[in-house]
Amino acid sequence: MTIVEMLEQSGVLTLLGMGIVVGFLAILIVCVTCVGKIIHALGLDKDAGALPKPAVSQGPSTAAKAAAVTAAITAAVTEYRKGEGK
């Protein structure tokens, strides 16, 4: 078997393998689409849109919390530095 024949055979096998994979993916897409339509037709997807809404906190915003934390750290560092000088 020459190198040209081996390259031809490998090319054919590559194309055959890729064709099989593409065919399988096409069949998979068709099946998933059909199952989705069947589920929608039977009304089994009613709870998909009924996700609970996240609770809105009534407390301070994130920026206000960050500012408060920064102020507390600054005050603590200032007090610590005052104590070092004694």
Residue 30 has pLDDT above 80, yes or no: yes
Would you say the pTM of this structure is higher than 0.85? no
Q: pLDDT per residue over 40-76, tens digit each?
A: 999 888 875 566 666 666 666 888 899 999 999 999 9
Q: How far is CA 59 from the centre of its chain?
A: 29
Give the mean pLDDT of 12-27: 98
* 60 contact partners, CB below 8 Å, separation of at least 6: 68
- Average pLDDT of the segment spanning 32-37: 96
Is residue 15 pLDDT above 60, yes or no? yes
Mean per-residue pLDDT of the chain: 89
